[in-house]
Amino acid sequence: METTTTRKHGVPTLSAPTIALFRAALRSGWQDFRAAPAFGLIVAFLCLLAGWGLVGLTAWAGHTFWFVLGVFGFPLVAPFAALGTYEVSRLRGMGEHPSVGRVLRVLWAERGRQLPLLCALMMVMLLFWFFLGHMIFALFLGLKPMTNIMSSASVFLSADGLMMLGLGSVVGAGFALLLYSICVIGLPLLLDREVDYVTAMITSIGFVLSNFMVMLVWAAFIAIVLMIAMLPAFFGLLVVLPWLGHSSWHVYAALRSD
């Protein structure tokens, strides 16, 4: 028989993060992935298929700039994809068995709570990133004779191309940092406690701002590892996405003092 748990109300006390804490979380996350890989592999495989679908769509449409936007936008929604691994690690931390069915039931039960509202906000931000990315592209390269990036890569080496890449990188990094600040504590907090999503967002942003440099290191590590994982035809996500998901939960659990 499965054990039911009652969530505590309110925001827990959070301790200061350290690099050593991140290292320990990565080790614990790897242990969780090895002990209960099923759910993480299922979600990662779906992300792999989504990546291939994006490649096929952009090739069919002849506008491979969509693919560039998708690749740089993926880290914006990676925390959403890792939600199930949070629950796996949470259950393992309580000494319980995290079967795929049980994790799915817990996530389904979240539909009436605050978590879907934060996830919806993440999706809106991703769509806005696509819209803004197209505006930046059109501003600098809209009149260039290029329809396919793979066959016209030299356009990026032009003055307009370099300016577009520079501005797009700055704007994309800003989006990623904002969403990271909202979700790094906000998502696991909503899964762990009875709080509203606005409180979770404010708590997460405030925590990142209070510990900015250390949390920036964790953000940079996540972004770099995800980008590297996508290079071999997205296959690296099969390992990296579950590992980072489990590790992110352990970061939150280690910071939580009550």
The tens digit of pLDDT for each residue in 143-190 reads 555 444 444 566 666 777 777 777 877 887 888 888 889 989 998 998
Task: Please give the span between the terminal C-alpha atoms of the chain, in angstroms, as a whole number.
Answer: 27
Confidence band for 215, pLDDT divided at 50, 70 and 90: very high
CB atoms within 10 A of CB 154: 9
Cα 186–Cα 189–Cα 191 angle in degrees, nearest 5: 115
Under 8 Å between Cβ of 257 and 62: no
Question: Against a cut of 0.85, is the pTM above it?
Answer: no
Q: Which residues pair with 256 in a beta bridge?
A: 14
Under 8 Å between Cβ of 250 and 29: yes
* Domain coordinates in residue numbering, the chain: 26-141+154-255
Q: In whole angstroms, what is the distance from residue 231 CA to residue 196 CA? A: 37
- What's the pLDDT score for residue 154? 66
CB atoms within 10 A of CB 82: 27
